[in-house]
């Protein structure tokens, strides 16, 4: 609830351009303004460091060029949060990755200042939620106050930087009546682009030798490039390949191990005993150089191009 006070009322009357300030305030409240501002400041700081006269401390080599590129990208990301707020999730994730990368690729992330501003702005942009009409006139519960997304945003840098200890295993009925093979197939792909990617937890799936732990990955669809699957059928090795493989519908993957490079930059490894907390991968991301031990996959529709099958 917004409260007015005499001091603020007198200040509003004395300051010039009341209509312009009112329009600016209304515009600012409909987008992640402060997150975008921090990204702009972080990008400007990264730009200024290699261009500063501190030639003894800072050189304009590859680090300087990377700082200019990352700084410009953060500025563009901040403008996107201002003028295209509906893209905040995708933009914030990319801005966060660039901010973390700036520590190694530039002058320690602009001596930590630019990197810190970029991480804070990305978290604020990701956690911002638009207020429903008339929300200021009613008391909001914690659920509708945006606390959930904001809590996730605060934990997002930790989630992307490292994988922490896994949570408890949730026992559930095995998917369908299908037994998982004795030898888990190995899947590799050069690019894994899911839509609505969620690590739903850890479950036990039944194999011919007993239950094993597997991560449950759910998504609406996924596109894989240079797909390769290798497994053993007795003493023979089977290799299944495809130039592209598209999964759509209710897609669920059961994996005993999963590794890859997020956005082609940040390489992570997930196991049932080492899931990130919270177990959520932000939306609109892709991974490269993916390798997984796939126990089972279910999908409403699978479309392949250039399918091959070899036995040796």
Q: Which positions ≥6 away from 157 have C-beta within 8 Å?
A: 96, 100, 119, 122, 123
| Residue 90 within a domain | yes
| Residue 169 within a domain | no
Beta bridge mates, 160: none
For the purposes of burial, counting CB atoms within 10 Å of the CB of 292, is it exposed (0-12), middle (13-18) or buried (19 or more)?
Answer: buried
| Residue 171 within a domain | no
Q: Do 52 and 152 share a domain, yes or no? A: yes
Q: How far apart are CA 119 and CA 109, in angstroms?
A: 11
| Residue 42 within a domain | yes
Q: Do 55 and 155 share a domain, yes or no? A: yes
Helices 147-161 and 113-127: crossing angle in degrees, nearest 10, is 140
Contact 114, 64 (CB under 8 A): no
| Residue 172 within a domain | no
Beta bridge mates, 297: 253
Residue ending a domain, among 110, 145, 161, is: 161
Give the pLDDT confidence of 19-75 residue by residue, as tens digits.
788 888 888 889 999 999 999 999 998 888 776 655 444 444 555 577 788 889 999
Q: Is the pLDDT of residue 309 over 60?
A: yes
Helix, strand and coil in the chain, % to nearest 5: 40, 30, 30
When pLDDT is averaged across residues 89-98 and rounded to a whole number, the result is: 88
Q: Is the pLDDT of residue 154 over 60?
A: no
| Residue 166 within a domain | no
| Residue 294 within a domain | yes
Q: Do 113 and 204 share a domain, yes or no? A: no
Beta bridge mates, 233: 236
Q: Do 138 and 202 share a domain, yes or no? A: no
Q: Which residue has the higher pLDDT, 168 or 264?
A: 264
For residue 255, cis peptide bond before it (omega within 30 degrees of 0): no
Q: Do 28 and 133 share a domain, yes or no? A: yes
Q: Which residue has the higher pLDDT, 228 or 173?
A: 228
Query: What is the number of H-type helices and E-type strands within the chain?
Result: 8, 8
Beta bridge mates, 219: 251
Q: Do 149 and 265 share a domain, yes or no? A: no
Overall domain count for the chain: 2
When pLDDT is averaged across residues 155-160 and rounded to a whole number, the result is: 44
Q: E strands of 176-276, at which residues?
A: 186-195, 198-207, 210-233, 236-262, 266-270
Percent of the chain with pLDDT over 90: 15
| Residue 177 within a domain | no
Q: Do 230 and 265 share a domain, yes or no? A: yes
Give the model's pLDDT for residue 179: 60
When pLDDT is averaged across residues 153-175 and rounded to a whole number, the result is: 41
Give the model's pLDDT for residue 5: 57
Q: Do 95 and 60 share a domain, yes or no? A: yes
Q: How far apart are CA 132 and CA 142, in angstroms?
A: 14
Q: Do 130 and 51 share a domain, yes or no? A: yes
Which of 179, 181, 305 has the alpha carbon at shortest distance from 231? 181
Q: How far apart are CA 173 and CA 176, in angstroms?
A: 8
For the purposes of burial, counting CB atoms within 10 Å of the CB of 239, is it exposed (0-12), middle (13-18) or buried (19 or more)?
Answer: middle
Give the model's pLDDT for residue 227: 92
Helices 88-105 and 62-83: crossing angle in degrees, nearest 10, is 160
Q: Do 56 and 104 share a domain, yes or no? A: yes
Give the pLDDT confidence of 105-142 residue by residue, as tens digits.
777 777 888 889 999 999 999 888 887 654 444 444 33
Residue ending a domain, among 128, 161, 194, is: 161
Q: Do 35 and 152 share a domain, yes or no? A: yes
Contact 79, 40 (CB under 8 A): yes
Confidence of residue 182 (pLDDT cuts 50, 70, 90): low
Q: Do 203 and 109 share a domain, yes or no? A: no
Q: Vertex 177, ends 174 and 182: CA angle to 5°? A: 75
The answer to pTM > 0.85 is no
Give the model's pLDDT for residue 98: 87
Range of the domain at 203: 186-311
Q: How far apart are CA 92 and CA 186, in angstroms?
A: 32
Q: What is the mean pLDDT of the chain?
A: 74
């Amino acid at each position: 609830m917004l409260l007015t006070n005499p001091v603020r009322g007198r200040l509003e009357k004395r300051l010039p351009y009341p209509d312009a300030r009112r329009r600016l305030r209304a515009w600012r409240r409909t987008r992640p303004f402060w997150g975008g501002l921090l990204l702009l400041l972080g990008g400007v700081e990264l730009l200024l460091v290699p261009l500063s006269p501190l030639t003894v401390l800072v050189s304009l080599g590859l680090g300087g060029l990377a700082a200019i590129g990352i700084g410009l990208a953060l500025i563009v990301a901040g403008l996107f949060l201002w003028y295209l707020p509906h893209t905040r999730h995708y933009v914030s994730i990319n801005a966060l990755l660039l901010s973390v990368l700036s520590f190694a690729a530039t002058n320690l992330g602009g001596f930590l200042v630019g990197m810190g501003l970029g991480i804070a702005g990305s978290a604020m942009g990701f956690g911002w939620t638009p207020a429903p009409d008339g929300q200021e006139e009613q008391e909001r519960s914690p659920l509708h106050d945006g606390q959930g997304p904001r809590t996730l945003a605060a934990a997002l840098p930790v989630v992307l930087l490292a994988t922490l200890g896994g949570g408890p295993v949730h026992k559930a009925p095995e998917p369908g009546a299908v037994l998982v093979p004795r030898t888990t197939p190995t899947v590799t792909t050069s690019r894994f682009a899911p839509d609505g990617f969620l690590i739903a937890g850890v479950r036990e799936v039944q194999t011919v030798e007993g239950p094993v732990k597997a991560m449950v990955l759910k998504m609406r669809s996924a596109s894989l490039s240079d797909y390769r699957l290798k497994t053993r059928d007795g003493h023979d090795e089977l290799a299944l390949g495809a130039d592209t493989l598209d999964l759509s519908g209710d897609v669920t993957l059961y994996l005993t191990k999963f590794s890859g490079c997020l956005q082609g930059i940040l390489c992570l490894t997930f196991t049932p005993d080492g899931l990130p907390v919270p177990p959520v991968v932000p939306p609109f991301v892709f991974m490269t150089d993916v390798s997984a031990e796939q126990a089972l996959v279910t999908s409403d529709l699978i479309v392949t191009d250039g399918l091959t099958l070899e036995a040796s």
